[in-house]
Structure 1
Amino acid sequence: MSRHLDAEGDNQPMVNPTIQRRRLGLALKRAREHAGRTQDEAAAVIDAAASKISRIELGQSGIKLTDLHLLLDLYGVTGEEAEPLRELARAGRQRGRWSTYRNAVPDWFRQYLDLEGDASEIRCYQPEVVPGILQTEPYIRAMNATAHPRPNDEDLDRTVAIRLERQAILRQDGGPELSFILSESALRRNIGDVDTMSDQLRHLVEVSNQPNVSLQVFPFDAQTYETASFNFIILRFGDDAGSDVIYVETFTDADYLDRPDAVRAYTRLWDRLRAAALGPVESRKLIRQLADELAR
Structure 2
Amino acid sequence: MATVRTAKKLLLGKEIEHMINAAGKNQSEAAALIETGQPRMAGLIDGKGNIAVGDLERLANKLGFTDAGYQAALLELRRDGHKRGFWSSGYHRAYSEDLRLRIDLEKHADQIRSAEVEVMPGLAQCEAYARALHADMPEQGDLTLEDRVQARLARQDIYDKPEAPSVHFVLSESCLRRVWGDEQVMCEQMDYLIKLSNQPNVMIQVMPFNARPGRRSPIGNRFTLMRVPSPGVAGPLELAYTEGEGEIRYLDDKKALTAYDTAWTRLATAALSFDESRKFVRKVAREFE
TM category, shorter: 0.7 to 0.9
CA change 1:220–1:118 in 2 (3 A) is same
| Deviation for aligned residue 1:253 | 4.9
Contact persistence 1:62–1:89 (CA under 8 A): no
Q: Secondary structure at the match of 1:103?
A: helix
CA change 1:89–1:209 in 2 (3 A) is closer
Match for 2:188: what amino acid? D
Contact persistence 1:21–1:88 (CA under 8 A): no
Aligned to 1:279: 273
Contact persistence 2:171–2:207 (CA under 8 A): yes
Q: Deviations over 1:29-84 (max 9, x none)?
A: 111221223346556763243xx545422434433457646754663445747743
Q: Please show how residues 1-296 of structure 1 align to structure 2 within 5 Å.
A: 18-39=6-27, 41-42=29-30, 46-49=36-39, 53-65=41-53, 68=56, 71-72=59-60, 75-78=63-66, 80=68, 83-84=71-72, 87-88=75-76, 90-92=78-80, 95=83, 99=87, 100=89, 101-146=91-136, 148=137, 154-225=143-214, 226-228=216-218, 229-238=220-229, 242-250=236-244, 253-295=247-289
Match for 1:31: what amino acid? M
Match for 2:12: what amino acid? L
CA change 1:130–1:22 in 2 (3 A) is same
| Deviation for aligned residue 1:249 | 3.3
CA change 1:122–1:47 in 2 (3 A) is same
Match for 2:130: what amino acid? I
Contact persistence 2:27–2:38 (CA under 8 A): no
| Deviation for aligned residue 1:96 | 8.0
Contact persistence 1:169–1:175 (CA under 8 A): yes
Contact persistence 1:18–1:96 (CA under 8 A): no
Greater alpha carbon shift after TM alignment, 203-212 vs 102-111: 102-111
The root-mean-square deviation of aligned C-alpha atoms, in Å, is: 3.1
CA change 1:268–1:143 in 2 (3 A) is same
Q: Distance in 1 between matches of 2:279 and 2:42?
A: 45
Q: Distance in 2 between matches of 1:183 and 1:60?
A: 35
Greater alpha carbon shift after TM alignment, 241-250 vs 176-185: 241-250
Q: Where does the alignment leave 5 or more consecutive residues of structure 2 unmatched?
A: none
Q: Where does the alignment leave 5 or more consecutive residues of structure 1 unmatched?
A: 1-16
Match for 2:253: what amino acid? R
Q: Distance in 2 between matches of 1:160 and 1:189?
A: 19
| Higher-helix-fraction structure | 1
> In the comparison of the two structures, how many residue pairs are matched?
276
| Deviation for aligned residue 1:152 | 7.5
Contact persistence 2:133–2:180 (CA under 8 A): yes
The TM-score, its normalising length taken from structure 1, stands at 0.80
Q: Distance in 2 between matches of 1:196 and 1:242?
A: 38
Q: Distance in 1 between matches of 2:38 and 2:116?
A: 38
Contact persistence 2:57–2:71 (CA under 8 A): no
Aligned to 1:7: none
The TM-score, its normalising length taken from structure 2, stands at 0.81
Identity across matched positions, percent: 34
Greater alpha carbon shift after TM alignment, 192-201 vs 249-258: 249-258
